[in-house]
Amino acid sequence: MKKRSAIDAARARSAWLFIAPMLIVLALVAAWPLLRTIWFSMTNATLVDLTTYDFIWFDNFIVHAEGRWYGIFTDPQWLRALWNTLVFAAVSVSLELVLGVIVALIVNAALPGRGLMRAAMLVPWAIPTVVSAKIWQWMLNDQFGVVNAMLAGAGFIDGPVAWLGGSSLAMVSIIMVDVWKTTPFVALLVLAALQTLPKEIYEAAKVDGIHPVKVFFKVTLPLIRPALVVAVIFRLLDAMRMFDLVYVMTGSSEETMTLSVFARQALVSFQDVGYGSAASTGLFLIIALITVIYIMTLNPLGKEKAA
């Protein structure tokens, strides 16, 4: 007994030794900034003078004073940004999932020129987001944009459409660009899963004369489910903290403002470090909550497998 526990202790020691560098790096680049943001979210610090501030507990989040409610949870602009973010995340991730599976099925089929297709598929994903956002912004310009010129040339529209002007169209445009950009990512993950599927099952299905659509829903979909689950988690977390695309294409416009854009505006434009940190902390809590709910309710990682 004694001997074994000594070995165990030695093992545990070396285990700690091996993971220590990673823990230190994580603490430096993740935990420290996070804790600092949470700390600042409970102060009234401003960028004008970062050294003097008061600790105000949760006043930046919610507080009742002078007959009114204050704090981000009662700020119409923050709530609007939350709504925008949720709409953006739900719609864009759903579309990307459906389109990604379709694209993956196509490039997985034994077609001539398949290699070229796979390479071409990845182009939107390979372009840096700021660059593609700027390209789309020009293409969608109401006066000299190529999209309006093409639609007008084909006779679909009479006058120029202000795609990114102040209307719900701006959100539609941004979702469209995000779907264009990120569908390849989902397709790539699904394609990888498709390639690992055993051919025998499909041969058996073929012999039994099962309709291909039924094969897809009864065989393919359940088998690639783990890949889909990973894709959804990645994309959902990405979409919830959406910043670059929105900021480049429509700036701080209220119609498309996401939670991250709101936090940037409070922190940088308004120099309100306390409030901006509270907005960031709020976003962090919401993302954590969504992740927990997703893992608990959907049981996506498949407990039956472990059992």
Partner 1 sequence: MKQIRILGAALLTLLALGPAQAQREGGAQIAIACGALGIELELCREAAEQWAQETGNTVEIVNTPNSSSDRFQLYVQLLSSQSADIDVLQIDVVWAGMLQSHLADLEQPLGERVDAMFPALGANNRVNGKLVAVPWYIDAGVLYYRRDLLDKYGFAPPETWEDLTRAASAIQAGERAAGNDRMWGYVFQAKAYEGLTCNALEWVSSHGGGRFLSFDREFTGDNAQARAALTRAAGWIGTIAPRGVLNYDEEASRGVFQTGNAVFMRNWPYAWALAQGEKSPIRGKVGVVALPHGPGGESASALGGWHLAVSRYSQNREEAIDLVRYLTRAEEQKRRAIKGAYNPTLTALYDDPEVIAANPFFKTLYPAFENAVARPARPAGARYNQVSDAIWRASYDVLQGDSEAGPALTKLEDEIARIAYRARWGEAGQ
Which tokens sit at 39?
Answer: 């700390």
Which tokens sit at 230?
Answer: 């990973």
Closest CA to 240 of 266, 265, 254, 261: 261
Question: CA-to-CA distance for 94 and 96, rounded, in angstroms?
Answer: 5
Query: Using the rule CB under 8 A, is 49 a contact of partner 1?
Result: yes
Spell out the residues 6+ positions from residue 31 whose beta carbon is closer than 8 angstroms to its own.
Answer: none
3-state secondary structure of 43: strand
Query: Using the rule CB under 8 A, is 166 a contact of partner 1?
Result: yes
Query: Using the rule CB under 8 A, is 48 a contact of partner 1?
Result: yes
Query: Using the rule CB under 8 A, is 68 a contact of partner 1?
Result: yes
Query: Using the rule CB under 8 A, is 5 a contact of partner 1?
Result: no
3-state secondary structure of 302: coil
Query: Using the rule CB under 8 A, is 50 a contact of partner 1?
Result: yes
C-alpha count within 13 angstroms, C-beta hemisphere, residue 272: 15
Q: Which of 34, 38, 44, 286 binds partner 1 (CB under 8 A)?
A: 44
Q: Which of 88, 163, 247, 275 binds partner 1 (CB under 8 A)?
A: 275
Q: Which of 37, 40, 61, 75 binds partner 1 (CB under 8 A)?
A: 75
Query: Using the rule CB under 8 A, is 244 a contact of partner 1?
Result: no
Which tokens sit at 159?
Answer: 């006058």
Residue number, 232 or 278, with CB nearest to partner 1: 278
Which tokens sit at 196?
Answer: 């690992």
Residue number, 46 or 291, with CB nearest to partner 1: 46
Residues lying near partner 1 in the complex (CB under 8 A) are found at 44, 46-50, 65-66, 68, 70, 75-77, 142, 162, 165-166, 253-254, 268-272, 274-275
